[in-house]
């Protein structure tokens, strides 16, 4: 049994998308034992040198390795419970202990199952989310028991025991000791129930009453033998003392919990397990894989449609012929995305999910590109899946799936609501001459919200088909690549797409101008300078592409166009112009493939699919460096390449 929450963001106790009341319920679920790999997933982040640091930090925090102490608190007032274990990362604050708080799912709750007040309290707790954000924002509520906990370092200190909505069963032992002076959740709880708030860490500032929890560093005060120690030294001393007195032990915990893969819905992959009549649960025979979903399904049925299907879930165990019931939960779709890249290595392989030889040849993925929103779950699950396979399949020599990672930004657009609070599509909104936004149909006022990632739920999407039909796919592509660095969000702009289209038209015209150029007398001085300039741009463009600086690349194409226009009427041979523009158009293929290929066809280029040669030793040895003082350019210096700052 695990306590789970529906996969929706909770606002005011309701799912933001559906508006339904969200409650925690106990369900029998299937899990992958990802916690077995907690330390490997954490330590091997250090091997991923070409991953963005922000992604590694997010995964590190999600795994959440913490060092602390598990302390045994004696309990008074109960015949059934003699002690309760609490895990804490702040044992240094033990002398500031003023209450003990338990999860409503703590084993002790069984003694209150017939208490009407506790039942009501538990129902109220089920409306609180399970994320740290939702717990932090929720009003702290508690149910006071008749029990008291004894401070193990001061047996004269006895504090009340509560059940509280901000304590979860899946961290530590589902119990915390409250030190309100140095934890904000504890502080809020103590204020509500008039509990003592004793400061035990001081930064030598005013020690008067606290208006909020002090979570900074400092020296220990009001703590007997710990007084005067730093927080870190106090932690070590208290752990040593607790172990010496046999009151607890030093412990390492991880926030990472086992991955719940059960979903009560139709569209996932069936979990290939069956339930026999004697109560045992066994996997189906391998020869029956894959289990296929029934197509005659009633999607309007209450609950899981598979559970309501009259025949699909009834089966027999192949090896014995005994009657059995299929598992009607389906797998989390993250399971599929955790290994699809392995299937890509041998997509036509029939006898197993993948060919191990092909895995060892192709993997790891050289360059992975994905949104930052997948930084934790998808990327962490893919790493776990790979490590799990490596553990059980000795033919696979792979511990990490993705060698290089690049996280691109999202395409954003303003959001719009009518006076009833309903979301509107951009095409349903008009901008008046006065600069106001109104609804197209009845000219009623429209509320303009911030630019957010495009999503169907908020209707702030633009149909790319409309823009493609009007300007062409290349213009849309060019705008998105040019707007900002690829790791940043793109702010959608119809004007930006129009501008991109105009520039691509100029590129087309330039190509035709070179194609129809008449032969001229050849001035070697101009020609040498022109060729050097083109080689310089080609080098910079190639380098910026390899560095994922696509907006910089687009800016370089603009510079290159202006460079062509500067030299187009000078005495340079048509052959040199033709070879130069072919080189630049090949470099433009990843950015505007349609127009680039059409331009290359104008010149009957037979090597359009070959990347041009980049002459690195032909680059000018001088570069320009702008000198700025207080943000204003005062001079531009011509300097040699690769000088250090002191020399410049």
Helix (H) or strand (E) holding 385: helix 377-392
The pLDDT value given to residue 5: 42
pLDDT digits (tens, 9 = 90+) for 128-141: 777 677 777 888 99
Mark 527-561 as b/e (b = at least 16 C-beta within 10 Å): beebbebbbbbbbbbbbbbeebbbbbbbebbeebb
177 vs 97: CA distance, rounded Å: 6
Asked if 381 contacts 338 with a C-beta cutoff of 8 angstroms, the reply is: yes
The pLDDT value given to residue 75: 96
Phi, psi (degrees; rounded to nearest 5) at 406: -130, 125
Q: Which of 446-455, 544-553, 631-640 reaches the highest mean pLDDT?
A: 544-553
The pLDDT value given to residue 4: 39
**3 confidence band (pLDDT: 50, 70, 90):** very low
pLDDT digits (tens, 9 = 90+) for 469-519: 999 999 999 998 987 788 888 888 888 899 999 999 999 999 999 999 988
The pLDDT value given to residue 17: 66
Query: What is the pLDDT averaged over residues 594-604?
Result: 97
- pTM of full prediction above 0.85: no
Asked if 528 contacts 569 with a C-beta cutoff of 8 angstroms, the reply is: no
Quote the DSSP letter at residue 205: S
Query: What is the pLDDT averaged over residues 416-425?
Result: 88
In angstroms, how far is CA 192 from the centroid of its own chain? 35
β-bridge mates for residue 163, sequence order: 102, 143
501 vs 470: CA distance, rounded Å: 10
C-alpha distances out from residue 465 to 377, 416, 498, 501, Å: 32, 21, 15, 15
Asked if 627 contacts 635 with a C-beta cutoff of 8 angstroms, the reply is: yes
27 vs 86: CA distance, rounded Å: 26
The pLDDT value given to residue 617: 56
The pLDDT value given to residue 12: 65
Closest CA to 463 of 429, 412, 427: 427
**11 confidence band (pLDDT: 50, 70, 90):** low
The pLDDT value given to residue 489: 80
Phi, psi (degrees; rounded to nearest 5) at 7: -80, 65
In a 13 Å sphere around the CA of 63, the CA atoms on its Cβ side amount to 26
Closest CA to 167 of 218, 109, 226, 212: 109
189 vs 174: CA distance, rounded Å: 17
367 burial level (CB within 10 Å; 0-12, 13-18, 19+): exposed
207 vs 156: CA distance, rounded Å: 25
Asked if 634 contacts 627 with a C-beta cutoff of 8 angstroms, the reply is: yes
**254 confidence band (pLDDT: 50, 70, 90):** very high
Q: What's the residue count for the chain?
A: 648
- Work out the mean pLDDT of the chain and round it to a whole number: 90
45 vs 165: CA distance, rounded Å: 34
Query: What is the pLDDT averaged over residues 95-109?
Result: 95
Asked if 222 contacts 202 with a C-beta cutoff of 8 angstroms, the reply is: no
Query: What is the pLDDT averaged over residues 1-13?
Result: 49
Percent above pLDDT 70 for the chain:
95
pLDDT digits (tens, 9 = 90+) for 189-203: 999 999 999 999 998
β-bridge mates for residue 562, sequence order: none
Question: Which of the residue ranges 84-88, 107-111, 427-431, 615-619 would you say has the lowest mean pLDDT?
Answer: 615-619
Angle between helical axes of 473-483 and 464-471 (0-180°, round to 10): 110
User: Does pLDDT of 417 surpass 80?
Assistant: yes
Neighbouring residues of 404: CB distance < 8 A, sequence distance ≥ 6: 50, 51, 366, 367, 368
269 vs 263: CA distance, rounded Å: 10
Tell me the H-state helices in 100-163. 116-125, 132-137
The pLDDT value given to residue 389: 93
Number of H helices, E strands in the chain: 18, 31
DSSP notation for 505-548: HHHHHHHHHHHTPPP----HHHHHHHHHHHHHHHHHHHHHHHTT
């Amino acid at each position: 049994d695990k306590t789970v929450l529906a996969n929706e963001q909770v606002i005011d106790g309701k799912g933001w998308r559906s508006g339904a009341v969200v409650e925690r319920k106990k369900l029998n679920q299937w899990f992958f034992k990802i916690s077995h790999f907690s330390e490997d997933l954490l330590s091997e982040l250090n091997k991923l040198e070409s991953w963005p640091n922000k992604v590694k930090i997010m995964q590190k925090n999600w795994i959440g390795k913490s060092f602390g102490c598990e302390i045994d608190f004696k309990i008074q007032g109960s015949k059934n419970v003699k002690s309760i274990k609490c895990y804490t990362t702040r044992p240094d604050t033990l002398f500031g202990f003023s209450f003990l708080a338990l999860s409503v799912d703590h084993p002790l709750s069984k003694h209150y199952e017939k208490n009407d007040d506790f039942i009501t309290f538990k129902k109220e707790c089920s409306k609180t989310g399970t994320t740290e954000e939702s717990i932090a924002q929720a009003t702290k509520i508690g149910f006071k028991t008749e029990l008291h906990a004894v401070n193990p370092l001061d047996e004269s200190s006895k504090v009340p025991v509560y059940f509280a909505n901000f304590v979860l069963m899946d961290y530590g032992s589902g119990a915390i000791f409250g030190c309100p002076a140095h934890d904000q959740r504890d502080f809020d709880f103590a204020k509500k129930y008039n509990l003592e708030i004793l400061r035990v860490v001081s930064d030598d500032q005013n020690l008067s009453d606290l208006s909020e929890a002090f979570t900074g560093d400092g020296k220990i005060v009001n703590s007997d033998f710990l007084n005067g120690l730093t927080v870190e030294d106090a932690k070590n001393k208290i752990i040593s003392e607790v172990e010496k007195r046999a009151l607890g032990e030093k412990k390492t915990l991880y926030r990472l919990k086992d991955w719940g893969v059960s979903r009560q819905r139709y569209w996932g992959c069936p979990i290939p397990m069956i339930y026999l009549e004697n109560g045992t649960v066994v996997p189906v025979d391998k020869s029956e894989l894959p289990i296929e979903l029934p197509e005659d399904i009633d999607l309007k049925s209450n609950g899981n449609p598979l559970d309501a299907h009259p025949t699909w879930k009834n089966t027999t165990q192949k090896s014995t012929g005994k009657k059995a019931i299929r598992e009607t939960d389906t797998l989390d779709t993250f399971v599929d995305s955790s290994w699809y890249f392995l299937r890509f290595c041998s997509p036509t392989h029939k006898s197993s999910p993948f060919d191990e030889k092909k895995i060892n040849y192709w993997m790891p993925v050289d360059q992975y590109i994905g949104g930052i929103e997948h930084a934790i779950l998808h990327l962490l699950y893919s790493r776990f899946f790979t490590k799990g396979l490596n553990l059980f399949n000795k033919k696979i020599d792979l511990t990490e799936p993705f060698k290089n990672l690049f996280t691109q930004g999202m395409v954003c657009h303003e959001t719009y609501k009518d006076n009833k609070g309903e979301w509107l599509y951009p095409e349903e909104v008009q901008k008046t001459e006065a600069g106001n936004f109104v609804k197209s149909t009845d000219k009623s006022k429209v509320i303009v919200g911030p630019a957010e990632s495009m999503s169907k739920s908020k209707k702030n999407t633009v149909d790319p088909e409309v823009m493609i039909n009007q300007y062409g796919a290349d213009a849309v592509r060019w705008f998105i690549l040019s707007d900002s660095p690829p790791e940043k969000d793109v702010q959608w702009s119809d004007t930006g797409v129009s501008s991109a289209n105009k520039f691509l038209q100029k590129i087309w015209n330039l190509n035709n101008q070179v194609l129809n150029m008449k032969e001229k007398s050849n001035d070697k001085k101009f020609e040498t300078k022109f060729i050097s300039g083109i080689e310089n741009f080609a080098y910079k463009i190639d380098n910026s592409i390899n560095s994922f600086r696509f907006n910089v690349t687009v800016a370089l194409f603009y510079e290159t166009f202006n460079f062509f226009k500067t030299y187009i009427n000078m005495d340079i041979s048509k052959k040199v112009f033709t070879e130069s523009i072919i080189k630049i158009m090949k470099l433009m293929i990843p950015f505007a493939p349609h127009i680039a290929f059409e331009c290359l066809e104008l010149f009957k280029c037979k090597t359009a699919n070959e990347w041009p040669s980049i002459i690195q030793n032909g680059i000018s040895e001088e570069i320009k460096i702008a000198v700025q003082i207080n943000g204003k350019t005062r001079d531009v210096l011509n300097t040699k390449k690769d000088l250090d700052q002191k020399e410049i």
